[in-house]
Amino acid sequence: MGVDVTHVDVGGGLGVDYDGSQSTSQASVNYSLQEYANDVVYTLAESCREHELPMPHIISESGRALTAHHALLLLSVIDVESQADNVMPELTDDDDADSPGLRRAYKVVPLTRLDDRRTTLQGAYANNISDNAVRSRQRIFLFAHGHFLIFAPLAALGAGLHVAAYALEGEAEVSDTGVVLSVAIPVALFILAIFVLYALLTRTYDPFHLLLLALTAAVIAASVLLAVAGASVALCLLVLTLAPVVTIVGYETIGHRHMAEALDRL
């Protein structure tokens, strides 16, 4: 076409060996920077020799390879410690800097620890959470693993809705009562798990929650009884969707005040 090409941009795509394995995994590359450059230059040089063209200037946009080794960590300040009320003694030439009293007063940190910033940061983090961890050891375990009690009924609910979909399409040999139960039981377990976790985490016994659970159970039982009486699956599932509404209405009217009081007591 008669175009005098003087520069060729090979674009990006230069990988980064994040995990150091030098393999073909998604977090690594199995070639070096020199091998990458050799392949690019060789391919262009062969094409230029074949067509008797001068070798152009090669430009690479390997931004990720240039910046992947640098990182910036942004943190939100969640707590501030101050010693404004502590009066520090004034040092004189006669004071021994290695005395235990001065070390306690000025919180002297050995230079070896200052050199290892990770130790200092880990120690500060441990000091901030240690008191709460000792007081709330069991609640920390529930907070870390209690979500499994919620996720399991949700997974079962998905399976129950799958059964209901097949039944409504006429592709499942399950009775209407069985279809409604496959959805109602996970819903009941899900709502019960939320109330149980709340009671365990806040160490609170709230009679109002028993009322909400009883009303929820009545709605769930009504959906199953409608199926037994011969009502359509669609109607039964529609009634079943009202079960969470009991908790929502109860929280918005009265329950939110009970929760605020429980949190204030923690």
CB distance 203 to 264 below 8 Å:
no
Cα three-residue angle 217-219-225, rounded to 5 degrees: 100
What one-letter code names the amino acid at 263?
L
SS (H, E, C) 117-148: HHHHHHHHHHHHHHHHHHHCHHHHHHHHHCCH
Structure tokens at 44: 């262009």
The answer for 15, left when phi > 0, alpha when psi is -120 to 50, beta otherwise, is: beta
What one-letter code names the amino acid at 20?
G
Q: 9 forms bridges with which residues in the sheet?
A: 59
pTM of the model: 0.49
Per-position pLDDT tens, the chain of length 266: 567 889 999 988 888 888 888 888 888 889 888 998 999 999 999 999 998 889 999 999 988 888 887 767 777 888 887 765 555 556 555 555 455 554 444 444 444 444 444 444 444 444 444 444 445 566 677 777 788 888 999 999 999 999 988 888 888 788 999 999 999 999 999 999 999 988 888 888 889 999 999 999 999 999 999 999 999 989 999 999 999 999 999 989 998 888 888 777 76
Cα three-residue angle 217-262-247, rounded to 5 degrees: 25
pLDDT at 111: 45
DSSP structure string for 5-16: --EEE--S----
End-to-end CA distance of the chain: 78
Q: Give the integer Cα–Cα distance in Å for 200 and 18.
A: 42
pLDDT at 133: 46
Q: Give the integer Cα–Cα distance in Å for 164 and 237.
A: 9
Query: Domain segments of the chain: what residues?
Result: 7-67, 140-265
Q: Give the integer Cα–Cα distance in Å for 188 and 243.
A: 8
pLDDT at 91: 58
Closest by CA to 149, choosing from 197, 187, 202, 184, is 197
Q: Which residue has the tokens 């079960």?
A: 243
